[in-house]
Amino acid sequence: MQEFINQFFDVGFMLDHFDEVLEGFWVNLQLFAIAAVIALLWGLVLALLRQIPGRPAKPIRGLTIAYIDVFRAVPLLILILAFGLGIPSLDFLPKALRLPQWFGKPDSFWLGCLALVVTYGAYMAEVYRAGIEAIPGGQMEAARSLGMSHFQSMRNVIVPQAVRKVPAPMLNELIALLKDTTLVSVIALNEVIQTATDIQTKTFNSSALTLGSLMFLVIILPLARVVDRMIARNQSRVTRGSHIEVA
């Protein structure tokens, strides 16, 4: 038991390596922030493509559904490995795309980011879809009968209401995304897990991994409470009989 505690919960060891681990965690936060912004937009684009009506748009809907299904099914870890190891060897691409080093970040950062966006875009598209489908059909009918096009109706009527319905499930996706940034360690990005396992290899002590976990806890635990509060607030609005919140 003592050995276990020394191995994982050596507080002095944690303090000694705090700066190093925090530096790694900072990479996770940056990766998260960039991937989250892009995935939130990409997911909305996918959700909207899926909703285009009419027969001519059928191929677009089909491709979108195929994309969403495939990238929710492929394990993210495989995708990170495939992008991280595969894209640099596509020699027909210009070097700036094969081995992107934008803003002083290594290519593993950007290729990992791409894998996260591809996967989480698909997840988030489904969250938006649930929001869009929760809007009563009469809203679209009213908008269309006023002469607005499908796109105008989506932009002015449906999407603004749908996005007000999704913050709680979307925050769950964002929490999962934050944790999944650690998977990019498999293509040698110096983020928190990579840093901690390096320390572990050198010192035979795993407490740096525990410290990394604690950093996730500090960020995520308050967010979980925020989700609870959002759901509770939504619930009380539903029971009051109003189906949408207004400013």
Q: Which of 33, 37, 93, 142 binds another protein (CB under 8 A)?
A: 142
Confirm or reject binding of residue 146 to another protein (CB under 8 A): yes
Q: Which of 6, 101, 145, 236 binds another protein (CB under 8 A)?
A: 145
CB atoms < 10 A from the CB of 168, how many? 17
Footprint (CB under 8 A) of another protein, residues 150-179:
150, 152, 156-157, 160-161, 164
CB of 225 to another protein, least distance (A): 27
Report the C-alpha gap between 7 and 211 in whole angstroms. 12
By the 10 Å C-beta count (0-12 exposed, 13-18 middle, 19+ buried), 218 is classed as exposed
Mark residue 135 as left, alpha or beta (left: phi above 0; alpha: psi -120 to 50; beta: remaining). beta
Confirm or reject binding of residue 236 to another protein (CB under 8 A): no
CB of 247 to another protein, least distance (A): 8
Both tokens of residue 17? Answer: 């390596």
Q: What are phi and psi of 198, to 5 degrees?
A: -60, -45
What x-and-dash track marks residues 47-86 binding another protein by CB under 8 A?
------xxxx------------------------------
Which one-letter DSSP state was computed for residue 95? Answer: H
Which one-letter DSSP state was computed for residue 154? Answer: I
CB of 130 to another protein, least distance (A): 18
Both tokens of residue 88? Answer: 């640099």
**What residues make contact with another protein under the rule CB under 8 A?**
53-56, 136, 138-139, 141-150, 152, 156-157, 160-161, 164, 242-244, 246
